[in-house]
Amino acid sequence: MQKPSIKDVAEHAGVSTATVSHVINNTRYVSESTTKKVREAIKALGYIPSAAARGLASKQSRIIGVVFSDISNPFFTSVYKGIEFELSKAGYELTLANTGEQDEIQEVVLNTMLSREVDGIIVAPTGKASEAIDQIIQMDIPMVMLDRRGPYNHTPLVSLNNVQAAYEATSHLIADGHKKIGIVVGLADVDTTKYRMEGYCKALEEYKIACVEEYICDGNSRIEGGYRAVENLFQLPDPPTALFITNNLMTLGALHAIRDLGLKCPEDIGIIGFDDHDWADIFSPPLTVIRQPTFRMGSRAAGKLIELLGGKQEQDTDTADEEIFSGELIVRGSCSTQCHNNYFNNYENLDRVKGGIADIS
Amino acid sequence: MQKPSIKDVAEHAGVSTATVSHVINNTRYVSESTTKKVREAIKALGYIPSAAARGLASKQSRIIGVVFSDISNPFFTSVYKGIEFELSKAGYELTLANTGEQDEIQEVVLNTMLSREVDGIIVAPTGKASEAIDQIIQMDIPMVMLDRRGPYNHTPLVSLNNVQAAYEATSHLIADGHKKIGIVVGLADVDTTKYRMEGYCKALEEYKIACVEEYICDGNSRIEGGYRAVENLFQLPDPPTALFITNNLMTLGALHAIRDLGLKCPEDIGIIGFDDHDWADIFSPPLTVIRQPTFRMGSRAAGKLIELLGGKQEQDTDTADEEIFSGELIVRGSCSTQCHNNYFNNYENLDRVKGGIADIS
DNA sequence: CTGAAAGCGCTTACAG
DNA sequence: CTGAAAGCGCTTACAG
């Protein structure tokens, strides 16, 4: 037997398709007895509405597109769960696509989303300008950006205060007695890279530590990149004593490299990572990290999108609608060197010596 | 301006909508000059076909549904990437849903997929019978099961040889000199739990080691469960010297517990985990695990589905179509005790003593 | 080589 | 309180 349509249900119940549609969608009053007949017919026939037909007729897909660089990155997985939590409550389905941080792929996936007529989009855009994004903006499809905004300054954004977080991370290393601090940075095109580097520099500056160019090392945002970065740093004549590694994947690579180089953490090298992980706590020593409120960031982005979908359009204001979360420093013990118990072992002391750390040693 | 439809394109190009459709889909010959006109019109208007309309007219959504228990489990993430790799080559889009291993949620998500009229489904089913799955089967929607099959014996399956893998894991612990071997098992409803336990028992039996009931501990398939399981095991008067932990999340929890209990691995407790991870290698000591070929499993499941979609229907054979992969033992060093250098330190020796390990000690 | 037109299964003014 | 019917934007026999 064929899959039943709304017409079959209507006939079976002895009503019009309009009535069936209205009881299904609860979109106008239908008498109790009629409602009952319709529900029974639906049950009897095993009727399932066609989302395609519905979408075509109503011009709403009730699908939200989510575009991330890589769902196997736990940061995005957790954000995704936040989005899913919020959006499924509101009756939306999600479609997910990975760009792998590649502009061409981003173009392709956004276009298929356009073709799917998604009702809204949440995207962590690559750094470059995108025709597809231009088109989405021009078509007035609700969109919120997550983690970064690329070259789009007038789209709502949910992200972390990366400057502050990186500043805190670096300050923490300084407080632990480090003066030779390397940083492993991600892809240059991605906003967060710039901001995390900025926070790092700001902290060094504030504590009058010279910013050594060789200590800034590209890790490509990926595991292998983190590995190679650490290898390179330790080929320097005067390698750093501590490392700020600016995302979770590079941290993994860095830890691999540290092990392969036969180094001990934190004795030989202090480590602070970006992004928290389930395994960070059981690493030896447990990893000190900056934690992002990933789930909340995801659900907030979804919330913003729902507002836009509801038509609360005050978008024509000039101020970009931003929601910036704070990173949280989780101190676990991968930073402290032998200096751990010296004068610089905590923020209180740090505050006192601001402006002259290089003098005391 | 409104979003252009195929009609607008047809008018702009001075042809029929049929012709436009055919050049887009390459589905019948169209003269070069006409083709050119159509393509130009498409470009000029920025035309994007409506997937909903297309789906409604063609009765094909070109969407494949993927139903997993939890995409934040790296096992599923990696499988998903394999699926994505294969299916996107074939021009399909994916829609993903998590069940959290809950029957009711599985029911809901499968029904929305039915409503979306997905062309096919890949599912890691919960253990219980499901009305939605019954319906999918009855509607002849191509479906392949992944990791497990639940109570459905006539659906194609891609999975691991869990008995063999668990047998190898346990044998490895035995070869490393352990005789008091605990196992942390997952949800009872899930097939893999049963099979992994079976392999464990088989190995013990083979080496004449008594199977101690207290050493079999429920870990609920989750991090917290793994934690509690280890806590419980170490409250036994005679706790095990080694643990086989049967999935990645429980392993994480177990490692946490081991740390919190102040135990050292492998000195105090040997560990072998199920599923490999990026961090397994940098744990101290690096974790010995059974690795599943996750990406290949995913792409193979997708391949099977594509075959079914292509209508190669030889399904009415009675033999269930199964593809069973082998797990790979990755030895890293979290199992060996002080016995590491004794008689039982490798498989060669193990073979010689088969049938009487308990006698030698 | 191409077109006219029915039909896919819904939603939604319009009408009563 | 409910129905008749147009229309959403495609695909696809059918026809020439």
Map residue A329 onto helix, strand or coil: strand
Q: How far is A159 from chain B (nearest CA, A)?
A: 21
Taking CB atoms and an 8 Å cutoff, what residues of chain A touch B49? 115
CA of B11 to C1' of D11 (A): 18
In one letter, which amino acid is A141?
Answer: I
Any strand D atom closer than 7 Å to B6 CB: yes
Coil, strand or helix at B79: helix
A282/B256 CB distance under 8 A: yes
Residue B193: which of B211, B168, B219, B230 has the closest Cα?
A: B219
Take residue A94 and report the two structure tokens written for it: 């999600």
Beta carbon of A56 within 7 Å of strand D? yes
Residues A92 and A61: beta-carbon distance below 8 Å: no
Q: How many residues does chain A have?
A: 361
Three-class SS state of B230: helix
Residue B358 pLDDT > 80:
no
- Note whether A165 and A199 are within 8 A (CB): yes
Mind listing the pLDDT tens digit for each residue in B198-236? 999 999 999 999 888 999 999 999 999 999 999 999 999
State how far the Cα of A215 lies from the Cα of A47, in Å rounded to an integer.
64
- For the CA atoms of A288, A289, A293, A297, the dihedral, rounded to the nearest 10 degrees, stands at -170
Q: Say if strands B93-98 and A328-330 run parallel, antiparallel, or are unpaired.
A: unpaired
Nucleotide at minimal C1' distance from the B21 CA: D11
Please give the Cα distance from B136 to B152 (Å, whole number).
12
Provide the number of CB pairs (under 8 Å) joining chain A to chain B.
101
CA neighbours closer than 13 Å in the CB half-sphere of residue B63: 29
Which residues lie closer than 8 Å to B109 by C-beta, 6 or more apart? B67, B97, B98, B99
Residue in the structure block whose two tokens are 């003098």: A359
Mean pLDDT, chain B, whole residue set: 88
What percent of chain B has a predicted confidence (pLDDT) above 70? 90
What is d(CA A7, CA A13) in angstroms, rounded to the nearest whole number?
10
Q: How far apart are the first and last CA of chain A?
A: 85
Inter-chain touch B78–A55, beta carbons under 8 Å: no
Alpha-carbon distance B231 to B224, whole Å?
11
Contact B222, B228 (CB under 8 A): no
Q: Are B344 and B173 in contact (CB under 8 A)?
A: no
**How far is Cα A72 from Cα B157, in angstroms, rounded to an integer?**
24
**Angle of helix B131-138 versus helix B103-115 axis, rounded to 10:** 30
> Looking at residue B158, what is its pLDDT?
97
CB A122 within 8 A of CB A97: no
| Spans of chain A below 70 pLDDT | 1, 311-320, 337-361
End-to-end CA distance of chain B: 85
The beta-carbon neighbor of B117 closest among A46, A50, A139 is: A50
Task: Give the residue ranges with Cβ < 7 A from strand C.
Answer: A 2-3, 5-7, 17-18, 21-22, 24-25, 27, 47-50, 53-54, 56-58; B 14-19, 28-31, 33-34, 53, 56-57, 59
The predicted pLDDT at position B320 comes to 67
Distance CA A18, CA A25 (A): 11
In this structure, the strands spanning B216-218 and B181-185 are parallel
Long-range CB contact pairs, A12-15, < 8 A, 24+:
A12/A41, A12/A44, A12/A45, A13/A37, A13/A38, A13/A40, A13/A41
The predicted structure's pLDDT at residue B4: 92
From CA B253, how far away is CA B246, in angstroms rounded?
12
Separation of CA B122 and C1' C9 in angstroms?
Answer: 26
Q: CB–CB of B78 and A72 under 8 A?
A: yes
Instruction: Return the ∠ at Cα A350 (arms to A173 and A268), rounded to 5°.
Output: 30
Residue appearing with tokens 């109790």: A32
Strand D: which nucleotides have any atom within 7 A of a protein Cβ?
A: 1-13
Tell me the pLDDT tens digit for each residue of B121-177: 999 999 999 999 999 998 889 999 999 999 999 999 999 999 999 999 999 999 988
Q: What is the mean pLDDT of residues B26-36?
A: 92
